[in-house]
Amino acid sequence: MTDDDEARLVADARRGDARAFSRLVDAHQQKVRGFLRRFAGHWADADDLAQEAFVIAWAKLGRFEGRSSFCSWVCGVGYRIARDARRSHARAGARDFTWLEEQDDVGAGAPLEDRLAVARAMAALPDDQRAAVALCLSEGFSHAEAAAILGMPLGTVKSHVTRGRERLLKMLEASDER
């Protein structure tokens, strides 16, 4: 989808065209869901969060200023929802990593043990680092796009990605030595 196509669809959706919004969802849902799956750590929760992000985006489409892509904006909405959900889930108890057995697109060729190690390492990162790593390294967003999504300065996102990558590598090396 070109930027012009996206701008036209956003304009049509703002006028109440549900089909135009549906086309925006179709074009961007995989990227939003992929980011939220990596950030939330659980596929079912992430899919629910993505759905909620698009519902909120529809309701608040008038607030979309167009300074970033529509996808980046929805990822930002999803990030804030997911961050709040993570905080409440953190109080509820430990994380369940059995979702990895059901994955079929992310690391499907890797052994389950390796996928579990990566998931545990990602879960051990602070929220902001995990979000930056998931957006930039897993979903292919630029640092600038991630900064817009997360509402952080560009330099902070770059630092989070660098430090997060370093921490992941150290944690994965330590798990390999065991």
Q: What CATH number does residue 135 fall under?
A: 1.20.140.160
Over the stretch 17-69, which tens digit does the pLDDT of each residue have?
999 999 999 999 999 999 998 887 777 788 899 999 999 999 999 999 888 89
Region for 2 from its dihedrals, namely left if φ exceeds 0, alpha if ψ lies in -120 to 50, beta otherwise: beta
pLDDT reading at 107 higher than 70: no
69-85: average pLDDT: 90
What pLDDT, on the 0 to 100 scale, is given for residue 140?
87
Rounded distance, CA 104 to CA 68, Å? 31
Tokens representing 51 are 């759905």
Structural domain harbouring 49? 3-177
Tokens representing 176 are 């390999």
Burial of 73 (0-12, 13-18, 19+ CB in 10 A): buried
